[in-house]
Amino acid sequence: QKEVEQNSGPLSVPEGAIASLNCTYSDRVSQSFFWYRQYSGKSPELIMSIYSNGDKEDGRFTAQLNKASQYVSLLIRDSQPSDSATYLCAVGRGGGGNKLTFGTGTQLKVEL
């Protein structure tokens, strides 16, 4: 079992729709959770962080965390073609160190 699992996709959604990206993790003591966006040929860019159960909203992005189910998701509302990228889920133990474990990413395609 991978430590951080994501569906590789591609996930295709029409412009204006809600894109839902999912991630599960295996380490129950994980405390910090991140979503990164990576455009082709570019480095990852941090877009959301979440540390507590529930929802966290930032503009068109909402991160959702359920520690009991070991599940974290990212919702992108009003999807735009510029949102087409690979989205990486990353999980950390926090505490005295913050080595993050990354999933392999979900490719999102927003179609006109």
Partner 1 sequence: GAGVSQSPSNKVTEKGKDVELRCDPISGHTALYWYRQSLGQGLEFLIYFQGNSAPDKSGLPSDRFSAERTGGSVSTLTIQRTQQEDSAVYLCASSYGTGGGYTFGSGTRLTVV
Chain contacts with partner 1 (rule: CB under 8 A): 31-32, 34, 36, 42-46, 49, 88, 90, 92, 94-105
Please tell me the distance from the alpha carbon of residue 42 to that of residue 73, in angstroms, as a whole number. Answer: 23
Nearer to partner 1, 25 or 34 (CB): 34
> Nearest approach, Cβ of 53 to partner 1 (angstroms)?
17
> Nearest approach, Cβ of 14 to partner 1 (angstroms)?
26
Three-class DSSP category at 82: helix
Nearer to partner 1, 47 or 110 (CB): 47
Nearest CA-CA partner of 54 in 28, 36, 33, 37: 33
The 3-state DSSP composition of the chain as helix, strand, coil percent (nearest 5) reads 5, 55, 45
Nearer to partner 1, 63 or 76 (CB): 63
